Structure 1
Amino acid sequence: MPNLGQQDLPNLGQQITPLAPRGSRFVPLNPELPEDSAWLAGQAVSTVVSPDQKTLLVLTSGYNRVYDTDSPAPNPAESNEYVFIYDISTATPVKKQVVQIANTYNGIVFDPSGWAFYVSGCMDDRIQIITRSASGTWGQQDGNFLDLGHEGRGLGLNIDPNGAKQVNQMVGVAPCAAGVAISGDGQTLVVANYYNDSITVFSGGYGNWSSGTELDLRPGKNDSAQRGVAGGEYPFWVAVKGRGANTTAYVSSLRDREIVVVDLSGAPQIMARIPVKGQPNKMTLNAAQTRLYVVEDQSDTIDVIDTASNSLIATIPLVPVSLLPPSLAEAIDAAEANPDQQTLYTGANPNSVALSPDETQLYVSNGNLNFISVVNLDEASGGGEVVGFIPTGWYPNSVSFGAVGRSPDGQSPMVYVVNGKSPTGPNPGWCYGSGSPTYDGCWAANEYNPQLTKAGLQSFPLPDLEQLTTLTAQVAINNRFSSEVSAEAAAVMAAVREGVKHVIYIIKENRTYDQILGDLEVGNGDPFLAQFGEAITPNQHQLARTFVTLDNFYASSETSYDGWPWTTSARAPDVIERQYPVVYAGRGLSLESEGLNRNVNVALPTVAPGQPAHLLTRQQANPLTPDDPDLLAGQTSVAAPDGPDNEVNTGYLWDAALRAGLTVRNYGFFVDVTRYNFPQDSAYSLPLLKNPAATRTTVAYPSSVSLAPHTDPYFRGFDNAFPDYYRYKEWEREFDTKYARGGLPALSLVRFMHNHTGNFDTAIDGVNTPELQVADNDYAVGLLVEKIANSRYANDTLIFIIEDDAQDGADHVDSHRTVAFVAGAYVKQGAVVSSQYNTVDFLRTIEEVLGLPPLNLNDALAIPMADIFNPTPTPWSFRARPSTYLYGTDLPLPPRQMRQPVPRSTRDADYWARATRGMDFSVEDRFDFATYNRILWRGLMGDRPYPDAPTGLDLRANRDELLGRYRQSLRGR
Structure 2
Amino acid sequence: MRHYDGQVGRATLVIVAIFAAMTVGADDPTPKEPDQREIMLPGLTRSGSVLLPNGWSLRPAGKQSPLGDLPVILAENPKFPILAILHAGYGEHEVWTLDAKSGQTIARAAIPASFSGLVWSANGDRLYVGGGFDDLIYGFDHKDGLLSNKSTFRYPDRTPLQKESGPGGKKRQRVTAGLAVSADGKSLWAANAFGHTLARFDTESKALISEIELGLDSYPYGLALDENAGRLYVSLWGAAKVAIIDIKANALDGEYETQEHPNEMLTAKQGRYLYVANANRNTVTVLDTNKGQAIETINTAIAPQAPAGSTPSSLALTPDESILLVANANTNDVAAFNVKDAGKSTPLGFIPVGWYPTSVRASRDGKTLWVTNGKGGSSRANRDGPRPGFSGGSEGRTRQYIAGLLQGTLSTIPMPAPRQMAEYSRTVYACSPIKKDDPAGVTGPQAAKNNPIPSKVGDPSPITHCIYIIKENRTYDQIFGDMPEGNGESSLCLFPEKVTPNHHALAREYVLLDNFYVESEVSADGHEWTMGAYATDFVERTWPLGYRGDGRVPFPAEGNFAIATPAGGYLWDRAAAKGVSYRSYGEFIDNGKTPADPSTTKVKALQGHFDPKYRGYDLDYPDQKRADRFLEELAEFEKAGEMPRLIVLRLPNDHTSGTAPGKPTVTAMVADNDLALGRVVEGLSRSKFWPKLAIFVVEDDAQNGSDHVDAHRTVALAISPYVKRKSVDSTMYSTSSMLRTIELILGLDPMSQFDASSRPMSMSLPGCWMHRPTRFDRRT
Measured against aligned partners, the alpha-carbon deviations of 1:144-170 in whole angstroms (never above 9, x if no partner) come to 11113464998637889xxxxxxxxx6
Aligned to 2:256: 274
Equivalent residues of 1:176, 1:193 under 8 A apart? yes
CA apart distance, 1:112: 0.7
Q: Does 1:348 align with 2:310?
A: yes
Matches within 5 A, 1:785-796: 785-796=681-692
Q: Distance in 1 between matches of 2:182 and 2:770?
A: 65
Match 1:17 to one of 51, 59, 62:
59
Name the CA shift for 1:550/1:761 in 2 (closer, same or farther; >3 Å): closer
| Offset at residue 424 of structure 1 (A) | 2.9
Q: Quickly say closer, same or farther: Cα 1:427–1:740, change in 2 above 3 A.
A: farther
Counterpart residue number, 1:430: 385
Q: Is the 8 A contact 1:596 1:672 kept in 2?
A: no
Q: Does the 8 A contact of 1:16 with 1:370 survive in 2?
A: yes
Counterpart AA for 1:752: L
1:389 aligns with 2:389: no
- SS state at 1:731 partner: helix
Q: What do residues 166-224 of structure 1 show as CA deviations (whole Å, max 9, x unaligned)? A: xxxx6335441211112233232110111111111123x4x454434211112xxxxxx
Aligned residue among 640, 654, 673 for 2:565: 640
Contact 1:252–1:260 at 8 Å: present in 2 too?
Answer: yes
Alignment of 1:148 with 2:147, yes or no, is no
- Give the share of equivalent positions with the same residue, in percent: 32
Higher strand fraction (1 or 2): 2
Query: Is 1:305 equivalent to 2:305 in the alignment?
Result: no
Ranges in structure 2 where 5+ consecutive residues have no aligned partner: 1-44, 436-442
The answer on whether the counterparts of 1:789 and 1:876 sit within 8 Å (CA) in structure 2 is no
Instruction: State yes or no: 1:769 paired with 2:779.
Output: no
Of residues 516, 520, 524 in structure 2, which corresponds to 1:553?
516
Task: Tell me if 1:263 matches 2:236.
Answer: no
Shift of 1:491: 4.1
* Cα 1:839/1:361, change in 2 over 3 Å: same
- RCO comparison, higher one (Cα < 8 Å, 6+): 2
Contact 1:569–1:855 (CA<8 Å) still a contact in 2?
A: yes
Give CA deviations for 1:271-302 in whole Å, capped at 9, x if unaligned.
Answer: 11222222101111226122111100122111
Aligned-pair CA distance for 1:521? 3.5
Residues 17, 393 of structure 1: 8 Å contact kept:
yes
Change (3 A) 1:559 1:438: closer
SS in 2 for 1:672: coil
Which amino acid in structure 2 is aligned with residue 402 of structure 1? Answer: S
Question: Paired residue for 1:234?
Answer: 219
The 8 Å contact of residues 387 and 704 in structure 2, kept in 1 or not, is answered as: no
Q: What is the distance in 1 between the residues matched to 2:416 and 2:779?
A: 61
Cα deviations by residue, 1:92-148 (Å, 9 ceiling, x for unpaired): 323222222121112100011211010000111111001124xx3533425x11113
Query: Any residues of structure 2 matched to 1:37-56 within 5 Å, and which?
Result: 41-52=68-79, 54-56=81-83
1:590 and 2:554 matched: yes
Is 1:87 matched up with 2:132? no
Question: 1:17 corresponds to which letter in structure 2?
Answer: R
SS across alignment from 1:498: coil
Alpha carbons of structure 1 residues 774 and 487: separation in structure 2 relative to 1, 3 Å = closer
Sort the Cα spacing of 1:299 and 1:150 in 2 relative to 1 into closer, same or farther, 3 A.
farther
For the pair 1:374 / 2:329, whether they are aligned, the reply is no
User: Within 2, Cα distance between the matches of 1:465 and 1:571?
Assistant: 33
Task: Determine helix, strand or coil for the equivalent of 2:134.
Answer: coil
TM alignment of 1:136-535, pairs within 5 A? 136=144, 138-141=146-149, 144-149=151-156, 151=158, 156=164, 171-172=170-171, 174-203=173-202, 205=203, 207-218=204-215, 233-242=218-227, 247-266=230-249, 268-286=250-268, 288-319=270-301, 324=303, 332=305, 345-379=307-341, 381-404=342-365, 413-422=367-376, 423-432=378-387, 439-442=392-395, 445-482=398-435, 485=445, 488=448, 491-494=451-454, 497-535=460-498
1:151/1:424 CA distance change after superposition, 3 Å:
same
Q: Aligned equivalents of 1:314 and 1:216: distance in 2?
A: 29
- Name the SS for the 1:709 alignment partner: coil
Amino acid at match of 2:375: K
1:593 to partner: Cα distance? 1.3
What one-letter code is carried by the residue in structure 2 that aligns with 1:583?
G
For 1:426 and 1:516, how far apart are their aligned partners in 2?
A: 16
1:7 paired residue number: 50
Matches within 5 A, 1:655-670: 655-670=573-588
How far apart are 1:783 and its partner, in Å? 0.8
* CA distance in 2 between partners of 1:186 and 1:569 (Å): 44
Q: CA separation in 1, counterparts of 2:778 and 2:696?
A: 15
Give the corresponding residue for 1:341.
none
What's the offset of the Cα at 1:854? 1.6
Amino acid at match of 2:423: T
TM-score (ref. length: structure 2): 0.87
Is the contact made by 1:424 and 1:449 (CA closer than 8 Å) also made in structure 2? no
2:505 aligned with 1:542, yes or no? yes
Cα distance, 1:481 vs structure 2: 2.1
Instruction: State the one-letter code of the partner of 1:820.
Output: A
Structure 1 residue 580 corresponds to structure 2 residue 528: no
Correspondence for 1:672:
590
**Farther-moved stretch of structure 1 (777-786 vs 527-536):** 527-536
Change (3 A) 1:361 1:749: same
Q: Are 2:446 and 2:759, in contact at CA under 8 Å, matched by a contact in 1?
A: no
How far residue 576 of structure 1 moved from its aligned partner, in angstroms, is 1.2
Answer yes or no: is the 8 Å Cα contact 2:98–2:145 preserved in 1: no
- Structure 1 pair 150–754 and aligned structure 2 pair: CA distance change class (3 A): farther
Question: How far, CA to CA, are the matches of 2:318 and 2:611 in structure 1?
Answer: 54
What is the distance in 2 between the residues matched to 1:360 and 1:877? 70
Contact 1:375/1:385 (8 A) holds in 2: yes
Q: Which runs of 5+ in 1 are unaligned?
A: 30-40, 65-79, 161-169, 219-230, 333-343, 405-411, 598-636, 644-650, 676-685, 690-696, 881-973
1:780 equivalenced with 2:734 (yes/no):
no
Shift of the 659–126 alpha-carbon distance from structure 1 to 2, 3 Å rule, reads: same
Q: Give the superposed CA RMSD.
A: 2.7
Distance in 2 separating the partners of 1:499 and 1:55? 62
1:125 partner amino acid:
D
* SS of structure 2 residue aligned to 1:295: strand
More helix by share: 1
Rounded Cα–Cα distance in structure 2 between residues aligned with 1:390 and 1:137 = 29
Measured after TM superposition, the shift of residue 378 of structure 1 is: 4.2
In the aligned structure 2, how far is the partner of 1:500 from the partner of 1:519?
Answer: 32
Please state whether the residue corresponding to 1:362 is helix, strand or coil.
Answer: strand
Q: Distance in 2 between matches of 1:561 and 1:845?
A: 23
Tell me the distance in 2 between the aligned counterparts of 1:670 and 1:562. 13
Q: Does the 8 Å contact 2:542/2:556 carry over to 1?
A: no
